[in-house]
Amino acid sequence: MSRSISDQFNKTSSNNIEFTISNNRLLFTRIRSASIILLFLYVYFFYADFVLYKGIQEDIYRIHLIAIHVIGFTTSITFLFIHKLFKDKGFPHTKWTTITINLYIFSYVMGGALASINSQQLNGNIYTYIVILIGVASLFPVRPWHFFFILMFTHIFFHIGIYHFHANEKYNLVSEQINTTGTATIAFIICLSLYSYRKRDFQTQQKIKNSEQNLLHLFNVNPYPLILTDFNSGKILLANNKALEFYGVEKEALPALDVKQFYISKEERSLIIEELKTNGQIDNYIVEQSTTDGTKKWVLVNYKLIDYMGQKCMLSGATDITDLKKIETELEMYATTDILTGVINRRKGMEILQDLIEKSTTESVQFVLLFIDINNLKTVNDRYGHPEGDSLVKTVCDIIKSRLTNADIIFRYGGDEFIITFLDKHTNYAEKVWNEIVEILQEENTKKRKPYELSVSHGLYCYDSDQSISLQEIIDHADREMYKEKALIKGWDEGSGPFSQFY
């Protein structure tokens, strides 16, 4: 416990020393500014002393005033020289810095007291002393107890001085004593308040600084890539070593980088910014990013808005999930892809079409659905075996895919059945593509590569948003059209054949 008390005492002592150095630096700067301003004012003061007051009856007043101004002028020049010496040494924390400041403050206050005492010979005003008391207390927040002793000494001296001129004027003396004592008290209160406020502000800034240093330490030792960016401009302010390694960035190049270049989709980053404006943070956001060498990575990012060094910043912590994303993609592919043909399977295909039907309730949707059946698959299976039947299915599917675009949807509906969907197309377009597929099949048949002919049947249905019909009903319509064509190919009479119950 004694060690804890000792550490706390040392910490407090260290903070006090740091505040004293900071406050002395401020006081030196302000006294320097005041000295420079006074040097210009003394030009006017000397003009008044030697020209405006020339021939005044109270010659001793003029002599005293000149002496006060000469002393003040000399003091200002001396301080400027002392300021340069201390500045060159970085304002070291020594008793001489404090002594120099207090002596200069004392010279200010004493100069005001002497000037007002001297004024008693001419006009009896005490304004100079009062103005300087308030001015010094407001501009130079020295330690209150230092200022108290300066006030006490100069105030006693001032009272003795004005007593010399008002010994026989009791009420004038009492009035001036009351006014100046009240002013001195107010000046001390001002000095105490400003000094206390400045000290509290310094301590608050130190706490903020320590917090920022702690944040910086945690930032650098974090095992995950962390980036701190200016929220408005996107400029990178900080990046830990893991982030530099993750994004392939040299530390020297960091100031010139914009975090936006790591995002493959600029629109997605804009959405992230908008959500941060609303909620202040985003957890577990999955986004695709790019490193400086163009490598694409999937990352799980946590975003948070924070204030750092007076700036509104965005802190982002990333976790590389590229491998997990690859596994997820593979699993998704296995779950949604027909293994034999490589097209999407029935579950995924029906899901896509159902989404289109639901979407049509709020916006315009149009598509043509083709229901396709491979003819004679059972015969091929029975005569040449199931491997050859699989080859038939795959060959026909490959030919169909060769005539489709990326916008077209194809999936395996059943063993020998496929469904194609042409989005935003009309029936004529679908029939044109179908005829091209049939021509390719006929060309394959002429090559006699197989001991059987490649033959398919199709039926279609054209859907738009105005229709009130379910997906299954659409498929049933196309299925019936397909069986009509199959009947023609096989020479069935309408109303006969194995599927006559559907008509």
The band of 491, judged by pLDDT with boundaries at 50, 70 and 90, is: low
How far apart, in whole angstroms, are the C-alpha atoms of residue 343 and residue 401? 9
What is the predicted pLDDT for the residue at 92?
66
Least confident residue range of 21-25, 206-210, 388-392: 206-210
Query: pLDDT tens digits for 327-377?
Result: 887 888 888 999 999 999 999 999 999 999 999 888 889 999 999 999 999
What is the predicted pLDDT for the residue at 96?
82
pLDDT of residue 494 exceeding 50: no
What is the predicted pLDDT for the residue at 256?
79
**Residue spans per domain, the chain:** 2-213, 224-321, 337-502
What is the predicted pLDDT for the residue at 11?
52
What is the predicted pLDDT for the residue at 367?
95
Quote the Cα angle for 150-152-155, to 5°: 100
How far apart, in whole angstroms, are the C-alpha atoms of residue 167 and residue 371? 123
What is the predicted pLDDT for the residue at 168?
60
What is the predicted pLDDT for the residue at 493?
41
Other C-beta atoms closer than 10 Å to the C-beta of 411 total 24
Class of domain 224-321: alpha beta
* Percent of the chain at pLDDT exceeding 70: 92
Q: Mean of the pLDDT values across residues 58-75?
A: 85
366: phi then psi, degrees, rounded to nearest 5: -140, 135
Strand partners, 289: 263, 297
Other C-beta atoms closer than 10 Å to the C-beta of 425 total 18
- Chain centroid to Cα 231, Å, comes to 3
Q: Mean of the pLDDT values across residues 52-60?
A: 77
Quote the Cα angle for 71-73-74, to 5°: 65
How far apart, in whole angstroms, are the C-alpha atoms of residue 165 and residue 163? 5
The band of 211, judged by pLDDT with boundaries at 50, 70 and 90, is: confident
Domain 337-502 in CATH 3.30.70.270? The answer is yes
How far apart, in whole angstroms, are the C-alpha atoms of residue 348 and residue 351? 5
User: Is the pTM for the entire model greater than 0.75?
Assistant: no
Laid out side by side, the sheet with 409-412 consists of 409-412, 417-423, 366-374, 456-464
3-state SS string for 212-273: HHHHHHHHHHCCCCEEEEECCCCEEEEECHHHHHHHCCCHHHHHHCEHHHHECCHHHHHHHH
The band of 86, judged by pLDDT with boundaries at 50, 70 and 90, is: confident
Q: DSSP 3-state assignment of 426? A: coil
CB 188 within 8 A of CB 137: yes
pLDDT of residue 472 exceeding 70: yes
pLDDT of residue 16 exceeding 90: no
Query: pLDDT tens digits for 286-337?
Result: 999 988 888 899 999 999 998 877 789 998 999 888 888 888 878 888 889 9
What is the predicted pLDDT for the residue at 13?
63
What is the predicted pLDDT for the residue at 434?
95
Query: pLDDT tens digits for 128-182?
Result: 889 999 999 999 989 999 999 999 999 999 888 888 876 667 777 888 888 889 9
What is the predicted pLDDT for the residue at 91?
63
3-state SS string for 310-332: CEEEEEEEEEECHHHHHHHHHHH
- Selection from 272, 329, 254 nearest residue 298 by Cα: 329
Q: Which two tokens stand for residue 335?
A: 């779950």
Other C-beta atoms closer than 10 Å to the C-beta of 152 total 12
The band of 396, judged by pLDDT with boundaries at 50, 70 and 90, is: very high
Instruction: Kindly report the average pLDDT of the chain as a whole number.
Output: 86
What is the predicted pLDDT for the residue at 24?
85
